[in-house]
């Protein structure tokens, strides 16, 4: 699975793409991000690689960490 998908002239980005940007902005390692989020390093690694989707549970944890709405 890739982090981007092209359909005609439109591009869609996997949630892991945005999470990677967030980790970079926070200046932490993926392992530290996983610890702060309350999830495993494996989950964050798979999200960053585009190997899994963002579950409702992970979205809720991400929302709690960042203060952003789950929507």
- Residue-wise pLDDT for 40-52, tens only, equals 999 999 999 999 9
Q: 3-state DSSP helix/strand/coil percent for the chain, to nearest 5?
A: 55, 10, 35
Q: What is the pTM of this model?
A: 0.80
CB contact at 8 A, 24 and 34 = no
> Which tens digits make up the pLDDT trace of 55-69?
999 999 999 999 999
Report the distance separating Cα 36 and Cα 8, nearest Å: 38
- Plot region of 64 (φ>0 → left; ψ -120 to 50 → alpha; else → beta): alpha
């Amino acid at each position: 699975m890739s982090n981007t998908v092209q359909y005609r002239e439109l591009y869609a980005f996997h949630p892991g793409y945005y999470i990677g940007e967030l980790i970079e902005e926070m200046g932490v390692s993926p392992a530290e991000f996983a610890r702060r989020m309350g999830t495993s390093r494996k989950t964050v690694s798979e999200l960053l690689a585009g190997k899994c989707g963002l579950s409702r549970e992970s979205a809720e944890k991400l929302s709690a960490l960042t203060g952003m709405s789950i929507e």
